[in-house]
Amino acid sequence: MEQLKTEKICFHCHDQIQDSVLYLDGHSFCCNGCKQVYQLLSEHALGSYYEQDINAGIRPNNIPEEAFAILDDPELRKRFIDFQEQQIIRITLHLPQIHCASCIYLLEHLHRLNDGIIRSSIHFPKRTATITVNTDRIKLSKVAVLLTKIGYEPDFKSIDKSATTFDKRLILQLGVAGFAFGSIMLWSFPEYLGIDKTYAGIRNLSSYLSFAVSIPVLLFSASDYFKSAIGALKIKTLNLDIPIAIGILALYIRSCVAIFTHEGPGYMDSFAAFIFFLLIGKWFQGKTYQWLSFERDFRSYFPVAVIKNTGNDSVLCPIEELKIGDRIAIRNEEIIPCDSILLSEKATIDYSFVSGESDWIEKKKGDFIYAGGKSYGETIELAVSKTTERSSLTQLWNERHSKHTELAFQTRQDRISKYFIAAVISIAVISSLVWAFIDPVQIPEIITSVLIVACPCALALSVPFVYGNILRVLGKNGFYLRNTAIIERIQRCNYIVFDKTGTLTEQDHKHIYFEGETLSFQETEILFAMTKHAVHPYAKAIHTSLKRIQNEAFPDSPVEIPGKGIVFGKYKLGSTDFTGAESSSDNESVVFFAHENKIIGKFVFRSSLRSNLEKLIPELAQNYQLAVVSGDKPKDYDVLKTIFPKKTTFLFEQQPLQKKEFVDHLQETGNYVLMIGDGLNDAGALNSAFVGIALSEDLVRFTPASDAILKAQHLSLLAQYFRFVRDGKKFLKICFAFSICYNLTGIGFAVSGALTPFVATVLMPLSSITVVSLATFLTVRKKFPPITE
């Protein structure tokens, strides 16, 4: 049995083999594509591809070569290529399928597959390949075709070349601060051990060195805190960077005074350490998933260029350069890039990505076609009636978060800073009043001491470490947040809106049952042959649901009529009109099977709900109000009603704009909405929701712009993820309490006039280290149950 099981898995892509098995070299393959990749690799001595990682292979997609024609046009390709010197071109391609060591191995040995490829190197975190090509030997479009053939389809649309610049600056700042921190600490060591005035020469030299080293820290490493504080003051708000900036300045000025009055190195060590720790916090928080794209808009979904017919000629034209009235040609399975009018006799359009509706729509000459539909069948000609930017759906996707929700939301850190500043100022005032009676000369000293120790270093580290760890723990469990600010947003939400198709239900049509006369053996055979090469998803689903009994040869070959059905001799399979069936209820998806215009029966498609929803929904309902909005017909209402609580709002047959308006309406009435969706039809709603979560089957496929991406298999854990995120508030409070304790201890020293550089040097790292380890301990021990697929 065991052996049988292993044989059923494709050697290349490790998928379960469904029906026909192909064999080569004693390995089994699920499809011809996988077999060809294997063949290609073993012919070019790249067999060790399979040894680098167990899950190496990717099943290749079928992409028409013309899709890459843009790479051969010297003008249009300019924005993709990095460098060109006569026939040598270097290009950086985003290959979202890169996932393991084997991918690096294969893609860095591309030169063995074609000698026109000179060099290729992978940037793993960004999932890009930089390829140097000799275009005399191989055309760029052929390189893209080759990549697609071995499973790595280039995604031209979402290369963001500026992504790393910010990070790099932070690393440089961190380096400078670390250097200064280490050096000053070393030079201050005699100071800690109690060096006295007899060695004034050494003390002065080390003080001046400390001063020299501290200048770049102040001007370069700490500059962002000053900018942020000034920025906040300008718009008359308070943030935590204000007390930080005040503390930094107090430390620095006090130390400079100490150095130039030959008092010793002052607090320079604390100053450098302080900046160093703050920057570490910033760096830790700044963890991003470079390979995931949270910012995709319609552009990454549409083709880069389409064929424009100008008189007798046809040229490739980038979609942003299309003008009203242009005539464009759209080939089979291409996406219509702008609102337009059909010039061809008829067209079959699949709007499933836009509206969530899975049925294909038939259009006639002169009909208006919205952007975003996928055309099936023969090449169609269209006249552009609105440019892409102004097409009705793209406009919807272009709108960002409304300003209202953006401004009204202040992070917890910033809200706390108000009290913090007030407390620090009042402590400084009170202690100086008290000291006015004891020893008025000491007052400036006391005030600077208070400002120094009140500097909220540990407080400023709590948020990066608590939220940064939460971000990491969730990321390990298939829930990727765009940044740590999203955590506070999720904590605020009280209303969850679900999309139905693809979110609550699975995308493939697994639940099919047949109603009508029992199918005879021959009819089953006919259906099997009929649907074998079909394109329509329903026909494909019927094909996989049938059990093959015997391989019979038929005289006719099936003819698929896009958008209608399949004709096969005297048999017909397809829609109501096509087969001449009496129309059934609109609330279900059916395909009729007919023989000589007599209906034999119908296939009914039930979308299957994702697993464990019946447990997840009541869990969520305890804390949130729920709603379901769907672009589809209300066919699954009965099932959904059983698992959702009574007060859930159900909306069906919603257009993308209506979904967005529903979310907007909820937010206007004071709710904070968390929207979960998967397709472009949800893009508008995801954008206007307070938090938008995009559900993705495999992270590679398109996800609309969102705040977070959730792996579809992990949906059942959503309630637990949210609880963990809400727990973050509690963790943060514990860390805040600890850091305030340290601040109070320091203030105790400061108001009694006992603060020395040594006390500051011990207190500050100690508080930072406790808070960091506490934050890590609280968050990292969280374990989520494993997902069984």
Partner 1 sequence: MGMIYIMLIVSLCLAVFFLGIFLWAAKSGQYDDDYSPSVRMLFEDEKKSNHNNPENDGTTNSEVRQ
Residues that bind partner 1 (CB under 8 A): 3, 6-7, 11, 25-27, 42-48, 50-52, 101, 104-105, 108, 121-126, 164, 168, 171-172, 175-176, 179, 182-183, 186-187, 199, 201-202, 205-206, 209, 213
SS3 318: strand
Distance, in Å, from the CA atom of 206 to the CA atom of 315, rounded to the nearest integer, reads 71
CB 272, min distance to partner 1, A? 12
Contact call for residues 456 and 739 (beta carbons, < 8 A): yes
CB 114, min distance to partner 1, A? 16
Distance of CA 784 to the CA centre of its chain: 21
Closest to partner 1 by CB, 185 vs 755, is: 185
Number of neighbours of residue 173 by Cβ within 10 angstroms: 23
Closest to partner 1 by CB, 138 vs 170, is: 170
Distance of CA 41 to the CA centre of its chain: 32
Distance, in Å, from the CA atom of 411 to the CA atom of 485, rounded to the nearest integer, reads 8
Closest to partner 1 by CB, 190 vs 753, is: 190
Contact call for residues 579 and 483 (beta carbons, < 8 A): no
CB 284, min distance to partner 1, A? 15
Closest to partner 1 by CB, 146 vs 209, is: 209
* Tokens 């329509």 found at: 536
CB 66, min distance to partner 1, A? 32
C-alpha torsion sign, points 735, 737, 741, 746: positive
| Residue 377, Ramachandran bin (φ over 0: left; ψ between -120 and 50: alpha; else beta) | left
CB 184, min distance to partner 1, A? 10
* Tokens 């298939």 found at: 478
CB 476, min distance to partner 1, A? 16
CB 446, min distance to partner 1, A? 33
DSSP for 458-484, please give it: HHHHHHHHHHHHHHHHHHHTTEEESST
Closest to partner 1 by CB, 179 vs 749, is: 179
Torsion of the alpha carbons at 337, 338, 341 and 343, rounded to the nearest 10: -30
Closest to partner 1 by CB, 286 vs 634, is: 286
Closest to partner 1 by CB, 208 vs 749, is: 208
Structure tokens at 299: 């552009």
Q: What is the CA angle 356-360-361, rounded to 5?
A: 105
CB 264, min distance to partner 1, A? 15
Q: Beta strands 708-711 and 691-696: pairing type?
A: parallel
Beta carbons within 8 Å of 324's beta carbon, 6+ residues apart: 384, 385, 386, 387
Please state the φ and ψ torsions of residue 146, each to the nearest 5 degrees. -60, -45
CB 213, min distance to partner 1, A? 8
C-alpha torsion sign, points 266, 270, 272, 274: negative
Contact call for residues 397 and 687 (beta carbons, < 8 A): yes
* Tokens 């001007």 found at: 219
CB 422, min distance to partner 1, A? 40
Closest to partner 1 by CB, 201 vs 670, is: 201
Closest to partner 1 by CB, 203 vs 602, is: 203
Closest to partner 1 by CB, 293 vs 387, is: 293
